[in-house]
Amino acid sequence: MKRNFALALMFLAAAGFASAQIYTPTQDILGAHLVGGRGCVACHTPHSGAFGNGQTPSKDVGNTGSVALWGEDLSNILGHTLNTGGGTYVDALPSSVTAGTADVMGVMLCLSCHDGSVATPAMMKGITYETLATQQGFTGNPPTLLGNDGTGKGNYLNDHPVGPSATIGCNSAANPESGYNWDCSITAAGLITPGPSMQAFIQNYGFFVSPAVVNNKPAVMCTTCHDQHSMNAVVVLAGATNRGLSTGPKSGITPGTYKSMFFVNGPYNPNTATSGSNQDAQFCRQCHGGESNEMHGGNVPTIF
């Protein structure tokens, strides 16, 4: 009897731990992208593009607003060259609003607000709406003006690689970073086929990132890791199709809405109160498989 009672308590404790992971937003999920209450029209103007937001583009005037009804001025980001990831990844942005692929245009749209150097946005204060994980000894707000963050105007050397050259690789002899990536392969269509270790990881966390496909290779764009329409929450669906994968298991996380931060597109909460939580590291490991538990012979679940 006592043994059965103890088992019942253990079951209830485990059930409580699982249910505590589910999150109910207490503020509008657009968060900082409400832009002082203007909401969607701060970025997407229903008429006249940048002119509809009171701006006067100096370049490619005839195409303003023709992509995603964009209401910010793209003039100064057109033709700009990005040097990210220490300068290893170099990409020249299109010189016309309509010249780039949808994925590259997405990078340009983000930078029309977040550059802060060649493109100076309205209303942005230059720091995140959210603070760092204060209970872990950090204070303050990360910068949001990536091209003007105190290291010199137009400097993206200290930013995560992004753009057509920021491709995602797999662990193979043909890859110069062999041993640092997942045990996966890339199909002719640029989709990722997980190997056994990556499959185990997906079951322990999921695959929430959305790689773009550039020249039949998966590549990192801004929206690969960020959902610009939800700052603080991410929805995990039961049996949802994994984006960017040719095949593979589904996430083993209990379906529901999870806490996120910084518009990260996955369960991500640096302010978690759980000691030993690995959920933030799990997000990065979606692409950086060489640093995962599974590629080191372990099978550690996500600890919320």
Q: Which helix (H) or strand (E) holds 11?
A: helix 2-19
Is the residue at 149 inside a domain? Answer: no
248, 199 in Cβ contact below 8 A? yes
Phi-psi region of 150 (alpha: psi -120 to 50; beta: other; left: phi over 0): left
Pairwise pLDDT comparison (52 vs 133), residue with the higher score: 52
Please give the residue range of the domain that contains residue 270: 167-296
Per-position b or e across 199-212, b if 16+ CB within 10 A of its CB: bbbbbbbbbbbbbb
Specify the 3-state DSSP secondary structure of 196. Answer: helix
Question: For residues 259 and 238, what is the distance between their CA atoms, to the nearest angstrom?
Answer: 17
How do strand 212-214 and strand 217-219 relate by DSSP bridges?
antiparallel
Q: State whether 183 and 287 are in the same domain.
A: yes
Number of domains the chain is built from: 2
- Look up residue 128 and give its two tokens: 């995140």
What are the tens digits of pLDDT across the range 253-287? Answer: 888 999 999 999 999 988 775 668 899 999 999 99
Is the residue at 46 inside a domain? Answer: yes
What are the tens digits of pLDDT across the range 9-40? Answer: 333 333 333 434 688 989 999 999 998 898 99
Which pTM value belongs to this model?
A: 0.87
What are the tens digits of pLDDT across the range 98-132? Answer: 998 899 999 999 999 998 887 766 667 778 888 87
Length of the chain: 304
- Look up residue 217 and give its two tokens: 């290779």
Is the residue at 155 inside a domain? Answer: no
Is the residue at 154 inside a domain? Answer: no
- Among all chains, which residue has been given the structure tokens 């012979």? 297
Question: For residues 53 and 46, what is the distance between their CA atoms, to the nearest angstrom?
Answer: 10
Q: State whether 277 and 182 are in the same domain.
A: yes
Given a cut of 90, whether residue 151 has pLDDT beyond it is: no
Q: Give Dmax (Cα) for the chain.
A: 80
Among candidates 99, 109, 104, 111, which has minimal Cα distance to 63? Answer: 99
126, 143 in Cβ contact below 8 A? yes
Is the residue at 110 inside a domain? Answer: yes
Is the residue at 160 inside a domain? Answer: no
Residue ending a domain, choose from 92, 115, 136: 136
pLDDT at residue 231 in the model: 95
Given a cut of 80, whether residue 236 has pLDDT beyond it is: yes
236, 256 in Cβ contact below 8 A? yes
